[in-house]
Chains A and B, each alone.
Chain A
Amino acid sequence: MATPAVNNNNTEIEKVKSPSGFKIIVREFIKDKVALISLILFLGIVLYVYIYSMGLDTKEVTRVDIFNQFQEPGPVHWLGTDYGGRDVYNQLILGARNSLTIGIAITLITSIIGIALGLLAGYYGGWVDNVVMRTVDFVLVLPALMIIIVYVSIVPEFDVRKFIFIMSLFYWTSKCRLIRSKALAEREHEYVAASKTLGTPDWKIMLFQVLPNLSSIIIVNMTLNLAGNIGIETSLTYLGFGLPESVPSLGTLISYSRNPEVMENKPWVWLPAAILILVLMLCINFIGNALKRAADARQRLG
């Protein structure tokens, strides 16, 4: 043994490292250039947006200045101004920040709901599974977008929290289904039975034995979900049923294009936001797909 540092055989034992999941992911990204570029670009945008927006005041950015209406891009407003004379670039940054934050919040909340219920349904099976899955089936056939729009338009004192709430209410189902089917398969492994015979309580088995084995699927799913949730938020905001006006989103900027004049002749107002959404979505998806390949040994590139 070439480890002279070990003087006492049971206090200082060197950790024998195994190829960790993290290394596999790194390898996958190095092999997949598109994913690597996406990751760098995405992280760059996120960092830039969050840091730059710290110096911005929402009130200041959204203050109407009619004399500056529809300025073309130039040295002062380098993406021009909108119908209220507001700087498009600043709105773009703020909108991106809000859309990202809300997308992340919804992804986290729906993940917690979906994972919890999916684990319970898959692990216990039987009537628990039945109740959860019938609920999922029902929520899935609901015209979610329409109900969200109705809710947004009738709820008093609509704000961001209520928006996150109503979105979370509808978009936990697919994750729940996924986790449930995986947990169902995982439950058949003997290590679950072994844990039971060792006196480990069910909740601990679910959280500390089964869940870690699903982690890669969850990470992939959350990544792809983030794109989906940002997409839905901006879509709703575009229609005017998303974030309230005091919280500009990327959808807000794009919604100015509902005026055909802006659409046709003043693309600087809405096009940057549309392109930013496209770039963000594509980045997230390429990252997600690289993660997916890393999680599935058969598909790995590296």
Chain B
Amino acid sequence: MFKFILRRSLIAIPQLFLLSILIFLLAQAMPGDALSGRFINNPNLDPAYQSELRDKLGLNDPLPQQYARWIGNLVQGELGMSYVHNVKVETMLESRIANTFWLGLATLILTYLIAIPLGVIAGRWPDTYTDKFIVTYSYVSFSIPIFVFALIMLYIFGFTLGWFPTGGSVDVRVEPGSWDWYLSKLHHLLLPALSSALLATTSTIQYLRNEIIDTKLKDFVKTARAKGTPERKVYSRHIFRNSLLPVAAFLGYDIVFILGGSIFIEQIFSYPGLGQLFVDSITQRDFAVVNVLVMLYGFLSILGTLLSDIILSIVDPRIRID
């Protein structure tokens, strides 16, 4: 058990290392460097002085050396300077991280609030019309591209019906820290989170449904029934307990899915989070920020997958490699 967790975690280390190399090389291929930001407002600066400054900052050093310095800074939390805005990348991330975090959390909660009851209902009463409806929903949600769905949600509930705000993370007229401010934040979160959550439910619903249907036929459930356990108890005590646990394992994968979707969701709902920052930075060719974001997302997705694999190995020993 412990051995598996350790071995699985060790796989993440070369993955992180490779990821960092990949991003470093991508960064090298990107136009501009740490100095572009400072020079951008001053195009008349002497080119000779520019190259002298580059030498001083080590931008002409051999690649391995530059990589070592870059990764060293990254580990210490020195994320570099924005090429465009002439501020530290950390500063640009600060407020965005919180926004994306809350959006992600809301999405996760909504996902499970929708998926678990639906999965349980479909699994408990399979082949009914309710079940068919839920299964069809899970197929449909799997196949719809997130941006199309989010756009239509925004069009209907944001623009046409006007139930939700159509952009931003909070109403700027409300005083920060007040009750209304928090309510306004929640109000802004709800539609993007719901749009994302409605599409993130597929795997959980399908897994739960199949698991419950399978568990129903297991011998220990038959034994429980044979003993005369009331039907409700058979489900609550025996079946759900066995089937719900593995759902926890999807947490990590779901985080990765929601992160990927956040690029579109935040763009569509003009929600000032990391995903929107990424698209804006790319458009403005602010590659210092882009770099950090790609690294951050890669890091989170390695972590999310690791998390899921470990939870899965705890709750479902069948998949453990050793």
Chain A residues proximal to chain B, CB less than 8 Å: 134, 137-138, 140-147, 149-151, 153-154, 224, 227, 230-232, 234-235, 238-241, 254, 257-258, 260, 263-264, 267, 270-271, 274, 277-278, 281-282, 284-286, 289
Say whether B116 faces chain A, with CB atoms less than 8 Å apart.
no
Give which listed residue, B31, B145, B298, B305, contacts A281 with CB less than 8 A.
B145
- 8 A-B pairs with the lowest CB-CB distances in the bound complex, closest first: A231-B145, A285-B143, A143-B297, A281-B143, A264-B159, A141-B302, A146-B294, A143-B298
Min distance, Cβ B162 to any Cβ of chain A, angstroms: 10
Cα separation A43 to B31 with both chains bound (whole Å): 45
Give which listed residue, B155, B256, B282, B301, contacts A267 with CB less than 8 A.
B155
Say whether B290 faces chain A, with CB atoms less than 8 Å apart.
yes
- A235 and B264 form a contact (CB under 8 A): yes
> Which one, B14-22, B36-44, B67-75, B233-241, is touching chain A?
B14-22
Say whether B4 faces chain A, with CB atoms less than 8 Å apart.
no
**Interface size counted on chain B using CB atoms at 8 A:** 44
Give which listed residue, A150, A224, A284, contacts B282 with CB less than 8 A.
A150
Cα separation A95 to B306 with both chains bound (whole Å): 39
Residues of A within 8 A of B152 (CB): 274, 278
- A263 and B26 form a contact (CB under 8 A): no
Chain B residues proximal to chain A, CB less than 8 Å: 11, 15, 18-19, 22, 26, 29-31, 139-140, 142-148, 151-152, 154-155, 159, 166-167, 256, 259-260, 263-264, 267, 278-279, 282-283, 285, 290, 293-294, 297-298, 301-302, 305
- B155 and A263 form a contact (CB under 8 A): yes
Residues of B within 8 A of A286 (CB): 139
Cα separation A267 to B159 with both chains bound (whole Å): 11
Min distance, Cβ A112 to any Cβ of chain B, angstroms: 23
Cα separation A258 to B266 with both chains bound (whole Å): 12
- A257 and B145 form a contact (CB under 8 A): no
- A142 and B22 form a contact (CB under 8 A): yes
- A150 and B263 form a contact (CB under 8 A): no
- A146 and B18 form a contact (CB under 8 A): no
- B146 and A235 form a contact (CB under 8 A): yes
Min distance, Cβ A122 to any Cβ of chain B, angstroms: 17
Min distance, Cβ B37 to any Cβ of chain A, angstroms: 17
- B143 and A145 form a contact (CB under 8 A): no
Cα separation A284 to B139 with both chains bound (whole Å): 11
Residues of B within 8 A of A289 (CB): 139
Given A142-B298, A143-B294, A150-B26 in contact, is the A239-B279 Cβ separation under 8 Å?
yes
Give which listed residue, B151, B279, B283, B294, contacts A147 with CB less than 8 A.
B294
Cα separation A16 to B315 with both chains bound (whole Å): 51
Min distance, Cβ A273 to any Cβ of chain B, angstroms: 9
Min distance, Cβ A214 to any Cβ of chain B, angstroms: 22
Residues of A within 8 A of B263 (CB): 145-146, 239
- A277 and B297 form a contact (CB under 8 A): no
Residues of A within 8 A of B298 (CB): 141-143, 146
Question: Can you pick out 19 interface pairs between chain A and chain B where the beta carbons lie within 8 Å of each other?
Answer: A141-B298, A142-B22, A143-B259, A143-B297, A143-B301, A146-B263, A147-B294, A150-B30, A153-B285, A227-B143, A231-B145, A234-B147, A235-B264, A240-B283, A257-B155, A263-B151, A271-B155, A278-B144, A278-B148
- A263 and B159 form a contact (CB under 8 A): yes
- B145 and A277 form a contact (CB under 8 A): yes
